[in-house]
Amino acid sequence: MKIFVTVGTTKFDHLIKFLDTSLDKSYDVLFQIAEGNYKPINFPYIKYTNNIKGQYDNSDLVICHAGAGSIFELLSLNKSFFAVPNLDRVDKHQLEICQYLKSNNYALFCENYDMILESIIKLNDFKFNKFKKDSFFKFDEIADIIQNLIK
Amino acid sequence: MKDKVVLCVYGEGGHRAEMGELLKSPKIKSVLKDKKIVSIYENNDFLDFIDIKYEFPIIRSKYSFLRTIIFFIINLFKCLYLIFIIHKKYDVKLVISTGPGISVLPSLFFYLNSVKVIFIENSCWFYKQSYSGFFLKYFVDYFYVQNKELKIIYPKSIYSGKLL
């Protein structure tokens, strides 16, 4: 199984360290660690990628921090993923989007790291609702505001 | 005579991605064609298609309250200085932000200088107010939310759908 782990632009050392030392070596894992201090020793890693969609496409499972950018792109792609809130941050705001995922049954929200390992084994048992994106529809309104102010 | 500009404040990460989506829309691209855009970002995470960029120093640590207090004391005046430079150099006609913490000072400053301000709350918020939304809700002209759930806590906001 190909697993891609991504933390977006904010370091999430606890998650990377846990997965690097806990995931079965038979998995094909790639970590994206941003500016994290912990460097994986058991699997390859990259700091960032210019082709995140390519990495998603190339993976059977994505394990990601619960950042809006990552979550909504994965939902739009209808990709299997586990969201892990980055509680290393002081603001804990990633719990918001996790609550949204859970209440709408869009993806698995892993409240603790051990849950990730248990859930990988049961990956095929999960059935999630399909996400329908309500796309931004205020472009024209904002364009009119800009046009009226900068003539 | 100073150039008329739109000031885009997007911080980093998801905020930057949302601003990118907004500015890439054909309608907005067409009205901004041949116009100058000035941007404020942080942490070396910028939109490279915007020519004029100002990097704000970090005023909030994501990992420590103590560091936030220290960064805030050290960098508050640097931020105010950069805002003053932008104000002096350009005729800012509109501020657009996608909700980062660093949008509070420039939005407030320009709003108090009679400049129109658009605030788009980041799509990661559903059930609570962000710090920037909490502070800025009274000091912006247009307050957009990307999640319908937020209409409950921001009744006067405008629902916009999601940028990402």
pLDDT tens digit string along B113-133?
999 999 999 999 999 999 999
Closest Cα of chain B to A25: distance in Å? 31
pLDDT of residue B58: 79
Q: Which residues of B touch A142 (CB under 8 A)?
A: 22, 28, 96, 118, 142
- Cβ neighbours of residue B134 closer than 8 Å, sequence gap 6 or more: none
What gap in Å lies between CA A32 and CA A16, rounded to an integer? 9
pLDDT of residue B29 exceeding 80, the answer is yes
What gap in Å lies between CA B29 and CA A104, rounded to an integer? 35
Provide the residue type at B100 as one letter: P
pLDDT of residue B75: 87
- Percent of chain B at pLDDT > 70 equals 100
What gap in Å lies between CA B60 and CA B55, rounded to an integer? 14
pLDDT of residue A115: 93
* Residue A62 contacts residue A81 (beta carbons within 8 Å): yes
For range A99-128, the mean pLDDT: 92
Average pLDDT score, chain A: 93
Query: Are B62 and A73 in contact (CB < 8 Å)?
Result: no
pLDDT of residue A88: 81
pLDDT of residue B96: 98
Q: What is the dihedral of CA A98, A99, A102, A106, to 10 degrees?
A: -60
Helix (H, G, I), strand (E, B) or coil at A43: coil
Query: Are A133 and B162 in contact (CB < 8 Å)?
Result: yes
Query: Are B30 and A72 in contact (CB < 8 Å)?
Result: no
Query: Does the model's pTM come out above 0.90?
Result: no
Other Cβ atoms within 10 Å of B142 Cβ, number: 18
**Where do we find the tokens 């020793």?**
A41
Average pLDDT score, chain B: 92
* Residue B48 contacts residue B77 (beta carbons within 8 Å): no
Q: Given its phi and psi angles, is residue A78 left (phi above 0), alpha (psi -120 to 50 degrees) or beta? A: left
List, in sequence order, every residue forming a beta bridge with B55; answer none if it has no partner: B41
For range B88-107, the mean pLDDT: 96
Q: Among B12, B29, B31, which would you mutate to test the A interface (most chain A Cβ atoms within 10 Å of its Cβ)?
A: B31
pLDDT of residue A97: 94
Of B13, B31, B63, the CB nearest to A9: B13
Cβ of residue B112 closer than 8 Å to a chain A Cβ: no
Q: Token pair of B85, please?
A: 């430079």
H/E run at residue B84: helix B65-89
* Residue A82 contacts residue A119 (beta carbons within 8 Å): yes
Q: Which residue of B has its CA nearest to A98?
A: B124
* Residue B40 contacts residue B78 (beta carbons within 8 Å): no
- Percent of chain B at pLDDT > 90 equals 76
Select from 3.20.190.10, 3.40.50.2000, 1.10.645.10, 1.10.10.60 the CATH code of B3-159: 3.40.50.2000
pLDDT of residue B134: 96
User: Tell me: the pLDDT tens digits for A13-53?
Assistant: 999 999 999 999 999 999 999 999 999 999 999 999 999 99
Q: Which residues of B touch A147 (CB under 8 A)?
A: 31
Confidence grade of residue B63 (pLDDT, cut at 50, 70, 90): confident
What gap in Å lies between CA B155 and CA B148, rounded to an integer? 10
Domain residue ranges in chain B: 3-159
Cβ of residue B144 closer than 8 Å to a chain A Cβ: yes
What gap in Å lies between CA A24 and CA A18, rounded to an integer? 12
Q: Token pair of B153, please?
A: 């806590």
Q: Token pair of B30, please?
A: 């067409």
Query: Are B160 and A91 in contact (CB < 8 Å)?
Result: no
Which sign does the torsion angle of CA B160, B94, B79, B47 carry? positive
pLDDT of residue A117: 94
pLDDT of residue B99: 93
For range B31-44, the mean pLDDT: 91
pLDDT of residue B65: 78
pLDDT of residue A4 exceeding 80, the answer is yes
Q: Which residue of A has its CA nearest to B150?
A: A96
Q: Which residues of A touch B124 (CB under 8 A)?
A: 66-68, 93-94, 96-97
Provide the residue type at A44 as one letter: P
Instruction: For residue B99, count CB atoms less than 10 angstroms from its CB and return exposed for 0-12, middle for 13-18, buried for 19 or more.
Output: buried
H/E run at residue A98: helix A94-104
What count of CB pairs under 8 Å joins A to B? 110
Q: Among A38, A86, A138, which would you mutate to test the B interface (most chain B Cβ atoms within 10 Å of its Cβ)?
A: A138
Q: Which residue of B has its CA nearest to A133?
A: B162
